[in-house]
Structure 1
Amino acid sequence: MTVPLRHFLVGLTLLGGALLVGIGLVVDAVPGLGGLVHVHLLLVGWVCVTIMGAMTQFVPVWSGTTLRSRRLASAQLALVVGGLVGFAAALALGRLHWLAGFGAVMLCGFWAFVYNVGRTLATVEEFDVTERRFAVALGFFVVLTVLGVLLAADLGSALLARVGVSHAGVRGAHVTLAVFGAVLTTIYGALYQLGTMFTQTELRGIDHRFRAVEEVGHPVGVVALAAGRLVGAPTLARVGASLILVAALGFAVVLARRLSEMRVERTPMHTRYAVVALALAAWVATAAPAWLRSPTAPEHVLGGPGSAPLLLLGVVGSVILGTLYHVVPFVVWVERYSDRLGFEAVPMVDDLYDDRLAAADGALLFAGTALVVAADLLAGASGTTLGGGARGPALAGTSLVTLGVAVFATNALSVIRRHSPGTLTRVALGRFGARRGLGGDEVDESDGEAST
């Protein structure tokens, strides 16, 4: 149980670093290639590390099987985070010749994750809708990390020019496979499971048609868009972009229908999932004009003005924080209270966190995201990065998002501190903090013995 919690705690720490770098970028206080530092801390440090922790814990649970190796699950985190910290430092200090080495370390961490979860999925006889998307996402992780190392090597030695491939083309393919391939495919797969389970509803009628369109259209669209950007083929990229947009809009409708038919009491998780449906539809509206006009343009990698914050904060951020509002208390509840059920009064999972803090961080994150989107739209209208009146809203929005994340982290950490049998140090550091696990038992990290 400590494995996913350790990933989540480290991910939140790196998210805080990404947001502080974001504020520094607004006020021109970040040295070196600060924009790349910000993006990698956000996407690799928070999003991907959280996905790694969630998959490592819940793929075995959903699939009714056993995790291949707990040692690999611990090693993947150390490799990815160690490589990322070195990578970010090299970017900030301008030591570009270090990038390929640290990028290779991250690649090893991601491939350990892919191998571990892939071998776990291989024991399943027949994949369901979630498992199919997770398997596709693992494939995207393999390819995008290779492209990432090539980009890192090119920054330090102009490698790509010698093989006749443009840096911009490889970068466009890398970002496409990362954001839309690995991350968004994982999110779709998880929400098909979580969206029905936590609303106590089932897909019906038109939901199945939208799901079929998304299941084929999204991965095919990702491959086409990435390939079109890699080789500079606008028509191929435009076809891929269109498929991704149609799939996203269909998925937004499915999620909204599940929430509208919800049969349980609303929680912070449901509220954030509602934001996801709204933000995903808004992202389609802002990305479609730019992608249909010029899908290979570097400035359109995530869409048009306003698209990037809608996708990264409104969709990806809301999914992760909303899901963690159930996952973190659930993991702690299972360890602390599940064996007491029926023998004494125990709290419910949703009783472990503070409702007032959840409402506060939700309001801060929503308002902050709206301001960042507005700033991006203003910057797009003025034709500059933060021109015109965009700097003020951008700074205010990033500050509100940072404060909202701090409130969320306080709420989540208080769950672990007040209810977990283990200390925060033990959870965060594992065997380096203590030789005992979350429940107080000796840690057994031998292969193939992880508890589901």
Structure 2
Amino acid sequence: MGAVPAAVDTDHQPPMTIPLRHFVVGLGLLLVGLLVAVGVALDATGGYAVLSHVHLLLAGWVCLTIMGAMTQFVPVWSGTELHSRRLASVELWLVTVGLVGFAGSLLGGYVAWIPAFGGVMLLGFWAFVYNMGRTLASVSSYDVTERHFGIALGFFLLVSTLGVLLAAGFVRPVFAGSPIGRADVLGAHATLAVFGAVLTTVLGALYQLATMFTQTDLHGIDLHLRRVEEVAYPSGVLLLALGRLLDAATVARVGGLLVVGSLLGFAVILVRRLHETRVEWTPMLSRYAVVVPALTLWGLLTLPAWLGDPLAASALFGAPGTVHLLVLGVIGFVVLGTLYHVVPFIVWVDRYSDLLGYEAVPMIDDLYDDRIAALDFLLLGGGTAVLVAADLLALPRAATAVGGGLVFVGGLCFVANILQVIRAHSPHSIPGVLLDTLRTDSDPAHEDAVDPVESR
């Protein structure tokens, strides 16, 4: 979609540097996480490398992107002011410093530092929850996206709290003598992180984005599926996490059934939006299209696995062998597709919107290189397919190395394409986006840019 959506709200968004700062730092953590993954594949890393890799990608790239997107979207979608611009920057650096220290301590085996850095990360996530919670509290009534975001904030609180307990467990016998063991807390923590904080946000955002950028509306079965999902999905996440925490298989089984059923229903909603689209196909929609078969296959494989044994360690994120299918095929491609529109849009409205009608300006989709976008789509899609096949079919380790290599190169192309949008078109340099915090975050002159979403 190359044009500005009609009827955008120009009054309630934060300065462009706030969300861009989150996105740029998140992209950096994506590259570091991919490098660690390559090291794991080559047996070149020590310590708790896999755990470090998972946190860099999920708590780093994905969660920082979510934080930046919420900071940008909630004020505009809700027609309210962001509670605190300054806190939006403070929370970013708390999470970043905490995460980098946490991941580095895991890699180097410096376990004594893990609780301290985990505590810093906790403060960052709690500051984010407080800032967005106060922002949402000023809204008189909530739509489907705001309801999902509010629930996701609750999941962020729970998952970060359990995370600090797990971090403390590296140096203190936190769970000694307790009927709830470390493995139980770890299962609940992972469940609340991926299916709670991350996927609840993803679902809420896609209700807006998938309709807005296809210029379609929910109708017919979409409305029924949405009503079921709004109740069944968060309830299922809580039951699945609780069942794993208390080692209660029946509770976890019910929760797993609700989670899988809700996500399969949402896949139907998404494919119908893409099928009915009234706009030209874009990198955003192409990447959303990958989500539909990935989510469907994950759900069909996971349903019997969770009905059988939802407490199995191998079934933590779904059926055995479906981790890459969920994390890359579903979560990863949603984030990739969203960034391919949101970053160019934010830059475009800050740089070119005032010139529209006075001189020739580029379209939004002209800001990134469509050839690189096509290349990274092929590399990331192909790499993900190879990794999924290697997981499900028990292919030789060389296949995993090939798939990981394709994903790594595709990730490099994606990051380069997004960063060149900022470098070539933004009035702020990349270092300026990262470091020019105090001036831009408190300058009222920056309040007049428009946002890539429609007001209600």
Q: Is TM-score (shorter-chain normalized) higher than 0.5?
A: yes
Q: Distance in 1 between matches of 2:379 and 2:321?
A: 19
SS class of match (1:174) = helix
SS class of match (2:170) = helix
2:425 aligns to what? 419
2:211 counterpart letter in structure 1: T
Q: Distance in 1 between matches of 2:409 and 2:435?
A: 26
Pick the aligned partner of 2:252 from 227, 237, 242: 237
C-alpha deviation, 1:204, in angstroms: 0.5
Q: Distance in 2 between matches of 1:167 and 1:294?
A: 19
1:341 aligns to what? 356
1:216 aligns to what? 231
Matches within 5 A, 1:2-401: 2-379=17-394, 389-401=395-407
1:256 counterpart letter in structure 2: V
Q: Deviations over 1:236-295 (max 9, x none)?
A: 000000000000000000000000000011101010011011111011122122211110
SS class of match (2:114) = helix
My pick for the range that moved more, 120-129 or 23-32, is: 23-32
Q: Deviations over 1:118-147 (max 9, x none)?
A: 100111100000000000000000011000
Q: Distance in 2 between matches of 1:444 and 1:159?
A: 42
1:61 counterpart letter in structure 2: V
Q: Deviations over 1:75-101 (max 9, x none)?
A: 011100100111112111222222111
C-alpha deviation, 1:423, in angstroms: 1.1
1:153 counterpart letter in structure 2: A
1:242 counterpart letter in structure 2: L
2:442 aligns to what? 444
Gaps of 5+ in 1: 380-388, 438-442
Matched, 1:409 2:415: yes
Change (3 A) 1:390 1:351: same
My pick for the range that moved more, 194-203 or 26-35, is: 26-35
Q: For the Cα contact (< 8 Å) 1:358–1:411, is it kept in 2? A: yes
Q: For the Cα contact (< 8 Å) 1:66–1:450, is it kept in 2? A: no
Q: Distance in 1 between matches of 2:420 and 2:185?
A: 43
Q: Distance in 1 between matches of 2:137 and 2:32?
A: 36
Q: Deviations over 1:36-76 (max 9, x none)?
A: 11111111111101100110111111111110001110001
SS class of match (2:436) = helix
Pairs aligned (count): 434
Change (3 A) 1:100 1:450: farther
SS class of match (2:169) = helix
2:335 counterpart letter in structure 1: I
1:444 counterpart letter in structure 2: S
1:382 aligns to what? none
Q: For the Cα contact (< 8 Å) 2:83–2:134, is it kept in 1? A: yes
1:275 counterpart letter in structure 2: V
Q: For the Cα contact (< 8 Å) 1:83–1:102, is it kept in 2? A: yes
My pick for the range that moved more, 132-141 or 27-36, is: 27-36
C-alpha deviation, 1:378, in angstroms: 3.2
C-alpha deviation, 1:212, in angstroms: 1.0
1:429 aligns to what? 435
Q: For the Cα contact (< 8 Å) 1:67–1:450, is it kept in 2? A: no
C-alpha deviation, 1:450, in angstroms: 9.7
Q: Distance in 2 between matches of 1:351 and 1:70?
A: 30
C-alpha deviation, 1:162, in angstroms: 3.4
Using the aligned pairs only, state the percent identity. 60
C-alpha deviation, 1:417, in angstroms: 1.1
Q: For the Cα contact (< 8 Å) 2:314–2:320, is it kept in 1? A: no
Q: RMSD in angstroms over aligned alpha carbons?
A: 1.6
Q: State the TM-score, normalized to the length of structure 2.
A: 0.93
C-alpha deviation, 1:436, in angstroms: 5.5
1:424 counterpart letter in structure 2: I
Q: For the Cα contact (< 8 Å) 1:82–1:106, is it kept in 2? A: yes
1:386 aligns to what? none
Q: Distance in 2 between matches of 1:358 and 1:90?
A: 35
1:323 counterpart letter in structure 2: T
Q: Distance in 2 between matches of 1:397 and 1:286?
A: 21
C-alpha deviation, 1:343, in angstroms: 1.3
